[in-house]
């Protein structure tokens, strides 16, 4: 594994860094409330600005409007965005999951219509995978689609769906053959979220926000032309989508975690307990050292995974190792931070409530994008070659 950047990678990073310097919004883009339509309008405009500058979908092939960036360059791209606190990306699902799926499995008509709209910010996407009784066991889904002439009629429910409250389209998994084994008989549909019969309800989390939603489909008509891939072959699409999701999760996280650690250290130098700086407590210093070491391990593990992907463009089950590591590491991180900062860290008035929010939000890390239990099964079976347990 060579951790040094090549000349082309350095040039890619420097070019994007220079573009960001000239094009970042002068003021941070923050929502005024959960239903702030202006916030999402600004994010669409930012996505379109990236597109106009040639910085949208950087890892996509050039033939589909991307830059054909290598996995290392794509990671540098995410790191630079994180380093300068760029606005939230509305292309998380569209660029990272749906677009690659359409490129691999979609028809020419689907590619021509959907891919440009993902890149330019015209469409925001969500993914309809998890259900109330199937969670990370996606293959046990029960949402059904029945063919009726030129349409499919969809009935069912999805949950834990990011962006559903603002999404224009959904990559929806449905059961189209109830007699087939659970990993078969699944199909994937591209569903217009404005269709009659689609209902979205926000899910309130411990942290107080509603980043996830539940979706209800009641006799929703979806044109048969919106079937992606072959009928009853949706499990293949599911695996492709999930591998892309898990491979993309860690690339920008190191920078975010590192900035949070730096913020914690600054507070430790400013805040006191019993007349002494928090930074002077040897137990606190030991906790910071542990966080720092785990964060560096995360960076090296991410680089190793990127190095492997660079020689094999298809993401593999190794992405599950990263998912387990960063999600559990972040929970340990914020737990230690709360212990170091003391009772004041639980207050909304302390540091604008950032630490209380981080602590509560971190509880979902080991559930979203596949639970730790599911990820460990994947690592055991597909990385270590261990037999299934029954």
What is d(CA 89, CA 93) in angstroms, rounded to the nearest whole number?
A: 9
Q: Which domains does the chain have, with CATH numbers?
A: 7-89 (1.10.540.10), 125-234 (2.40.110.10), 250-383 (1.20.140.10)
Residue-by-residue pLDDT tens, the chain, 390 positions: 556 788 999 999 999 999 999 999 988 877 756 667 899 999 999 999 999 999 999 999 999 999 999 888 988 999 999 999 999 999 889 998 999 999 989 999 999 999 999 999 999 999 999 999 876 677 789 999 999 999 999 999 999 899 999 999 999 999 999 998 888 899 999 999 999 999 999 998 888 888 889 999 999 999 999 999 999 988 877 776 666 555 555 667 889 999 999 999 999 999 999 999 999 999 999 999 999 999 999 998 888 877 776 666 555 677 788 889 999 999 999 999 999 999 999 998 999 999 999 999 999 899 887 789 988 988 898 888 898 765
Phi, psi for 169 (deg, rounded to 5): -140, 160
Does residue 339 have an active-site annotation?
A: no
Q: Please tell me which residue in 73, 95, 214, 245 is annotated as part of the active site.
A: 245
Phi, psi for 174 (deg, rounded to 5): -135, 155
- Whole-prediction pTM: 0.87
What is d(CA 79, CA 326) in angstroms, rounded to the nearest whole number?
A: 16
DSSP-derived pairing of the beta strands 212-223 and 125-128: unpaired
């Amino acid at each position: 594994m060579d951790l040094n950047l090549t000349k082309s990678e350095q040039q890619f990073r420097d070019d994007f860094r220079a573009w960001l310097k000239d094009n970042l919004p002068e003021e941070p883009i923050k929502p005024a409330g959960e239903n702030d339509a202006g916030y999402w309008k600004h994010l669409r405009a930012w996505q379109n600005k990236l597109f106009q500058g040639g910085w949208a979908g950087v890892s996509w092939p050039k033939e589909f409007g991307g830059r054909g960036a290598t996995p290392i360059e794509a990671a540098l791209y995410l790191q630079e965005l994180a380093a300068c606190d760029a606005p939230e990306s509305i292309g998380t699902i569209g660029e990272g999951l749906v677009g690659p799926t359409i490129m691999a499995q979609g028809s020419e008509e689907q590619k021509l219509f959907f891919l440009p709209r993902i890149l330019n910010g015209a469409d925001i996407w969500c993914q309809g995978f998890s259900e109330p009784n199937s969670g990370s066991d996606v293959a046990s889904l029960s949402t059904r689609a029945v063919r009726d002439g030129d349409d499919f009629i969809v009935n069912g429910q999805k949950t834990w769906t990011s962006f559903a409250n603002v999404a224009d389209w959904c990559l929806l998994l449905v059961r189209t053959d109830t007699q087939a084994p659970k990993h078969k008989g699944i199909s994937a549909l591209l569903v217009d979220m404005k269709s009659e019969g689609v209902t979205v309800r926000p899910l309130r989390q411990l942290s107080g926000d509603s980043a996830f939603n539940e979706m209800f489909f009641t006799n929703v008509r979806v044109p048969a032309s919106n079937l992606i891939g072959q009928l009853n072959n949706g499990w293949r699409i599911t695996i492709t989508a999930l591998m892309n999701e898990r491979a993309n999760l860690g690339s920008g996280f190191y920078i975010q975690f590192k900035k949070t650690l730096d913020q914690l250290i600054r507070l430790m130098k400013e805040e006191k307990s019993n007349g002494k700086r928090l930074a002077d407590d040897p137990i606190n210093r030991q906790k910071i050292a542990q966080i720092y070491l785990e964060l560096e391990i995360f960076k090296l593990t991410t680089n190793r995974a990127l190095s492997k992907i660079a020689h094999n463009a298809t993401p593999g089950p190794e992405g599950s190792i990263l998912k387990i590591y960063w999600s559990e590491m972040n929970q340990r991180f914020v737990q230690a931070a709360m212990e170091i900062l003391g009772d004041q860290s639980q207050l909304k008035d302390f540091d604008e409530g950032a630490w209380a929010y981080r602590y509560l939000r971190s509880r979902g890390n080991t559930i979203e994008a596949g639970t730790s239990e599911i990820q460990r099964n994947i690592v055991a079976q597909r990385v270590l070659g261990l037999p299934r347990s029954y």
